[in-house]
Structure 1
Amino acid sequence: MTATTTAWVAGFRSAVLSPYETIQLKQPRGFHDQTLRQILHLDGGGEAVRLQLSNEYGKEPLVIAAARVAVRAGRGDAAETALLPGTDRPLLFGGADEVTVPVGEVVQSDPVDLAVSAGTDLVLSLYLPEDTGLATFAHTASQNAYAVSGNHVSAPVLDGAEEVDSRFYVTGVDVLAPEGTAIAVAFGDSWFEGTGTSTGTNQRFPNHLNRRLGRGWVVNQGIGGNRLLTDEVGLHGLARFDRDVLTVPGATHVLFHFGLNDLGLPGMTGEPPATAEDLIAGYTALAAKARSAGLTTIGTTMGPYAGTIYPGVDSLEGRAIRREVNDWIRTSTVFDAVVDVAAAVQDPDAPDFIRPDLDSGDHLHLNDEGTRTMADAVDLAYLGL
């Protein structure tokens, strides 16, 4: 029997942003003499794992005095933070069990001999002995993190832990998978990251899409509030493409959903929305970057957001620009394929609005059924996975 050749590919990704942004959708925070336990729902599996931890936006070196990984035992009540017996492993960095991540840097752990599969909940426990300052984070992760005083990285369960609905320091988990495993990157805003879906239940668009795939998988590089053209909530899409797409090992395809925040967020400060011409130029530049890297490009139309509860975000001008740009996306040859997200989730009687049964309640984001409907709109032939 011939042994299967393996390679490191992305099994999970988490795009991060600065805790010092002008617009903050979640309250940033730091840690001091605390164990931080986080749940990482893997998009794909392999026979070993390695993790990436980022201090990209920290203002102090990040001291990690101890780190461990395990498989989560279950869900619900105490089981939320429970470790599956026999799976707890030390996480080492160059053979050491302690690491200091310099300001602005990312570190990668040594490989860990821990077999995981798609859908595994990996538990990462970090002991942070010193004052971290505000943490580099993914602010709308739709997954709680857990913090407790002292060093409890090996605790079977974190009793009495504080729950925080954000993800901190983690930018990725790689898995040792069969060579040739194909990875798609969902690169965009909150409609990919999962705002509006139920916390801790993995109902984001990429999660639903992965449940449809027979091989390969999609990793999530969405940032809630992220713009295509302008820095304000994270690096804008054109600026972070190299960091969040080109560095993803095994990437073969990229899906885009951008533009809503370029249209809506300026209204919060009385500024005009981005023009259709500027958005089209941005999409064209993104697609060119991806194609030059050999990636298959999949564009998506911008979802509806009329009537949103957020002051200033909805405007008649923004609605008209969204329709114009969506018409261009549908008919353009810039992308290798297009998914008509807007058509899938809009109210047929009022197309500028989300269909009521798919609305999270803020009239800007989809609920769990909405993200499933969005994923069902993807022709799997586009992905080749």
Structure 2
Amino acid sequence: MTTDSTAAWTAAFRSAVVSPYETIDLFELRGFAGHTLRQIIRLDGGGTALRIRLSNRYGKEPLHIGGARLARRTEGSGIDSGTDTPVRFADAEDFTIPVGEEIVSDPIDGPVTAGDELAVTLWLPDDTGLSTYSAVPLRTGWAVPGNALTTPTLDGAEGLEELATRHYITGADVLAPADTRIAVAFGDSWFEGTGTTHDTDHRFPDLLNQRLRDAGSNGWVVNQGISANRLLTDEIGEHALARLERDALTVPGVTHVLIHFGLNDLGIPGQEAYPEPAPIPTAADLIAGFTALADRIHAAGLTATATTIGPYKDTIYDGYSTPEGIAVAREVNDWIRGADSPFDSYADFAAAVADPADPDRIHDDHDSGDGLHVNDAGAKALADSVDLATLTI
């Protein structure tokens, strides 16, 4: 491929992954044997070439991939066959990912732009065991028996399965101008997008990207949210302090990190113990965790923006919302808004979607229906709460 000394590999899509071997079991766990997977990624930014990242981080056996293809998506599981191209890794079309590792493809030359929808098709000839996966990608994927790597559409195929989870794909990078600014949305379901409409790209990072494009920004946001993820405790996914290096600080091109954590630290213990009470972190515990995040982000030379903990009173999940947890969230939010916060700036998520008559709960107009997650309108309110100037400093 051609090279450009003014360009650098830059994250253009991310999909944070979790282990299928966790104790808390909220999502469908899958393995594959003799299947073709076709999964869609939507680029947050563009460049002159592209490379794909695949992961066997949590697999217990080497992952044999008999072939990988990349094409522009048309509709449903359909692809534009004229754009279909093999994805090679170390110049091989048939390759194996060792246990615990992630690999990056050889570059695929040719321009791509923000909003491009690309189909990544994988042929998995052998038993994979339970897969490394993304819990709530909000993008339909497909699995069919047999080798259908180059099949123009899988719609209507015998044995077709729709997948609500994403498997093995952790990202795509593009060759972009070296001064491109990348913000990583590093957090929980309020970033991953739970509660917003499937297959519509109405998550908070998507809508913030739209604002950035409308403003003529040369950068974008990539999404590293994990639903049910916590600041201080593992599951779902490694806790924020454990995954910060991999999922934020070393993302190619990163200049800014956006943070949203705390909800699950306060809610999951009670939900898991219900109907019994459960101990939860104190405000001091969460503040210490947030401070450690900010310090490590700054030590990496990056800008850190916090978001206040979203409201969740009256959520439908038994045991999740408690008066004690609500009080801690209020105290932490006051700290995030105050002069003692170590963050460079903050976006007031809580205020953006709260019911003015009862600020501890989500306003009905912004509620997805479960009292814990925002809908499309709520995600827009979150995106609108971010001062774009904080992403360009």
Structure 1, unaligned stretches of length 5 or more? Answer: 74-78
Compute the TM-score of the two structures, normalised by the length of structure 1: 0.96
Cα 1:355–1:59, aligned 2, differ >3 Å: closer, same or farther?
A: same
Distance 1:200 1:22 in 2: 29
Q: Tell me which stretches of 4 or more aligned residues in structure 1 moved more than 4 Å.
A: none
Question: Where in structure 2 are the equivalents of 1:99-178 lying within 5 Å?
Answer: 99-160=95-156, 161-178=160-177
Cα deviation, residue 333, structure 1: 3.3
Q: Which runs of 5+ in 2 are unaligned?
A: none
2:347 corresponds to: 339
| 2:308 matched residue in structure 1 | 301
CA drift of 1:86 comes to: 2.1
Deviation readout 1:64-91 (Å, 9 max, x if unpaired): 0010001112xxxxx2111124211100
CA distance in 2, matches of 1:378, 1:171: 26
Q: Secondary structure at the match of 2:83?
A: coil
The partner residue of 2:236 within 233, 242, 250 is 233
Partner residue, 2:49 = 48
- The 2-side partners of 1:151 and 1:247 are apart by 35
| Paired position in structure 2 for 1:254 | 257
1:141-184 Cα deviation digits (max 9, x unpaired): 11111101111111111133311111111111000111211100
1:32 maps to amino acid: A
Q: What is aligned with 1:19?
A: 20
Task: Indicate the residue corresponding to 2:320 in structure 1.
Answer: 313
Q: Which amino acid aligns with 1:38?
A: Q
Cα distance between partner residues in 1 of 2:94 and 2:5: 34
Q: Which amino acid aligns with 1:58?
A: G
Q: What's the counterpart of residue 245 of structure 2?
A: 242
Provide the secondary structure at the position in 2 that maps to 1:103: coil
Query: Could you tell me which residue of structure 2 aligns to residue 76 of structure 1?
Result: none
Q: Which amino acid aligns with 2:280?
A: P
- In structure 2, the residue matched to 1:378 is 386
Q: State which of 304, 318, 329 in structure 2 corresponds to 1:322.
A: 329
Quote the residue 2:193 is aligned against: 194
Is 1:58 aligned to residue 54 of structure 2? Answer: no
**Partner amino acid for 1:297?**
A
The corresponding residue for 2:89 is 93
Aligned partner of residue 222 in structure 2, secondary structure: strand
Farther off after superposition, 252-261 or 83-92: 83-92
Identity of aligned residues (%): 59
- Give yes or no for contact 2:205–2:223 (8 Å, CA) kept in 1: yes
Output the CA distance in 2 between the equivalents of 1:25 and 1:329.
Answer: 30
Distance 1:247 1:85 in 2: 34
**Could you tell me which of 350, 353, 369 is aligned with 2:377?**
369
1:22-77 per-residue CA deviation (whole Å, 9 max, x = no partner) reads 1122111111101100000111111111011110101111110010001112xxxx
SS in 2 for 1:195: coil
Paired residues of 2:28 and 2:165 also in contact (CA < 8 A): no
Q: In structure 2, the residue corresponding to 1:191 is in which secondary structure?
A: helix
Map 1:282-297 to 2 at 5 A.
282-297=289-304
CA deviations 1:75-120 (Å, max 9, x no partner) are: xxxx211112421110001111011011111111100123210011
Q: Secondary structure at the match of 1:141?
A: coil
For 1:324, what is the secondary structure of its paired residue?
A: helix
Paired with 1:114 and 1:315, the residues of 2 have a C-alpha distance of 53
The CA deviation string for residues 281-311 of structure 1, in whole angstroms up to 9 with x for no partner, is 0000000000000100100000001111111
- RMSD over aligned CA atoms reads 1.1
Tell me, in whole angstroms, the C-alpha distance in 1 between the residues paired with 2:282 and 2:354: 22
How far did residue 4 of structure 1 move?
7.5
On the 8 A contact 2:43/2:116 being kept in 1, the answer is yes
TM-score, structure 2 length as denominator?
0.94
